[in-house]
Amino acid sequence: MSYFPEISNIPYEGPNSRNPLAFRWYNENEMIEGKTMRDHLRFSIVYWHTMRGGGSDPFGMATAIRPWDDGSDSLDNALRRVEVAFEIFEKLGAPYYAFHDRDVAPEGKTIAESHRNLHKVTESLKAHQQKTGVKLLWGTANMFSNPRFMHGAATSCNADVFAFAASQVKTALEVTKELGGENYVFWGGREGYMTLLNTDMKREMDHLGKFLHMAVDYAKKIGFSGPFLIEPKPKEPTKHQYDSDSAACINFLRAYDLMPYFKLNIETNHATLAGHTMMHELDYAGMQGMLGSIDANTGDLLLGWDTDQFPTDFYLTAQCMLVILKWGGFTTGGVNFDAKVRRESFEPIDLFHAHIGGMDAFARGLRIAAEVRKDGVLSDFVKHRYRSWDSGIGKEIESGRATFESLDAYITGRGEASTNESGRQEMLENVFNRYL
């Protein structure tokens, strides 16, 4: 049975197509830099927004009442959603999806019942994966919605809540492994604080370090080898989230000896909430070998919260892809659309338009980035800009032979530094625009 009989598999029709249900840029088998577009982009659809988002906001209830969803918390309803989800994944030609435990299966009255529900739905997810070839990019546990997590999960002041979270992640890891998930994500929704007046930050962060080590140990035990990913976000829901940006996460991982097991899952809208560009966050992670995956979306620069909109801006996607390609592209990660349709876009077909737009925006971004790299104008400029480090005094400093005394003698002999050159930002922006 089909839930979208009027929609066929979305075809690639090329840039001149006027068909809103076709790709204009995403041609999955086309080769770019020696790899298919499918393998470069590794698109993934999220269960939480696409299957569970209804458009409710602090001022009103859900607007998107899905015809297949009876609104109940029953297992039957959860299992029906799986059918719908895989029809969407398949018709869009997305090779991956991602979910939280509570997106796919209802929470029970006890934790044992919740685990049973999750295992039950996992059987169906597995069968659908086998039937369609769609794979799991990552699994995660929702440890932020239920009121028990009001003070945090691994960083709660209540040790029982820590234990509850541990049990939840243990099961989520088992399920992710069972489904062949390629990564496991931690987004610390409530891992942070509102006021230091009631918070022992040192103790909370130590607990978080312990928690993640337990996850690493358990993953080893059950043979889950995919990397763990931390998803930085600076605020919302808490005022100070511990995993605030790439630099803070990497510092935390290094301080708690977790570097070998973790990478980052970087989200565009979280980068901008942190006061950074997405490119900065990607480059910072990339230079430390910590770029794992991305949550592709975009924020509204006029609104100061996580609006999770679908990315449509080629300038943004081209710059993202330029940094991602620079650091070697994805291995286990991918372009995961952590994005939701607007509250006003309440019809099921809007889910298709949204994903087609996001996939095309990243496909176009990939094409642009590859052209920029092929011509090499930008990378040549950067290389040339740093040429004073390739020989002479620069080379001596980089190779570790220079000291304050030797540099003092060198510059005293010359009397003044050599003349600076323009950074040419405006010219480079014009060069970049040639490729758009």
Question: Among 101, 103, 295, 308, which one carries the catalytic annotation?
Answer: 103
Long-range pairs, 368-373, Cβ under 8 A, ≥24: 368/314, 368/317, 368/318, 368/321, 368/435, 368/436, 369/318, 369/319, 369/321, 369/322, 369/324, 369/325, 370/32, 370/33, 370/321, 370/325, 371/435, 372/318, 372/322, 372/432, 372/435, 373/33, 373/322, 373/325
What is the closest distance, in whole angstroms, from the C-beta atom of residue 297 to ligand XLS in the complex?
8
3-state secondary structure of 46: strand
Q: Which is nearer to ligand XLS, 185 or 208 (CB)?
A: 185
Tell me how far, at minimum, the Cβ of 278 lies from ligand XLS, in Å. 13
Cβ neighbours of residue 258 closer than 8 Å, sequence gap 6 or more: 209, 212, 213, 216, 252
Q: Is 244 in the site for ligand XLS (CB under 6 A)?
A: no
User: Whole-angstrom Cα distance, residue 23 to residue 339?
Assistant: 19
338 binds ligand XLS (CB under 6 A): yes
Site for ligand XLS contains 306 (CB under 6 A): yes
How far, in Å, CA of 341 to CA of 52, rounded?
Answer: 12
Helix (H, G, I), strand (E, B) or coil at 412: helix
User: How far apart are the C-alpha atoms of 154 and 168, rounded to whole Å?
Assistant: 11
Longest dimension (CA), the chain: 83
Among 338, 340, 355, 358, binds Ni ion (CB under 5 A): 338
Nearest to 78 by CA among 61, 101, 98: 101
Residues 6-25 that bind ligand XLS (CB under 6 A): none
CB nearer Ni ion, residue 44 or residue 155: 44
Set 40, 49, 100, 276: catalytic member: 100
Is 76 catalytic? The answer is no
Q: Answer whether 436's CB lies under 8 Å from 318's CB.
A: yes
66 binds ligand XLS (CB under 6 A): no
Q: Which residue lies nearest ligand XLS, judged by its C-beta?
A: 187
Helix, strand counts (H, E) of the chain: 16, 12
Nearer to Ni ion, 37 or 229 (CB): 229
Q: Pick from 267, 281, 283, 360: which binds ligand XLS (CB under 6 A)?
A: 267
Contact call for residue 174 and Ni ion (CB under 5 A): no
- Choose, by CB under 5 A, the member of 87, 267, 281, 360 that binds Ni ion: 267
Q: Which position among 233, 263, 340, 355 is part of the footprint of ligand XLS (CB under 6 A)? A: 233
Tell me whether residue 237 or residue 394 sits nearer to Ni ion (CB atom): 237
Residue 177 or 340: the one with the smaller Cβ distance to ligand XLS is 340
Please report, in angstroms and rounded to a whole number, the separation of the first and last CA atoms in the chain. 42
Distance CA 33, CA 321 (A): 12
Distance of CA 228 to the CA centre of its chain: 12
User: CB of 152: closest distance to Ni ion in angstroms?
Assistant: 18
Site for Ni ion, residues 299 to 318, rule: CB under 5 A: 306
Handedness of CA 350, 351, 356, 362 (dihedral sign): positive
Report CA 233 to chain centroid distance, whole Å: 11
Is residue 140 close enough to count as binding ligand XLS by CB under 6 A?
A: yes
Closer CB to Ni ion, residue 182 or residue 338?
Answer: 338
Q: Which is nearer to Ni ion, 5 or 58 (CB)?
A: 58
Q: Which of 86, 187, 252, 352 binds ligand XLS (CB under 6 A)?
A: 187
103 touches Ni ion (CB under 5 A): no
Task: List interacting residues with ligand XLS (CB under 6 A).
Answer: 100, 140, 185, 187, 231, 233, 267, 295, 306, 338
List the catalytic residues.
100, 103
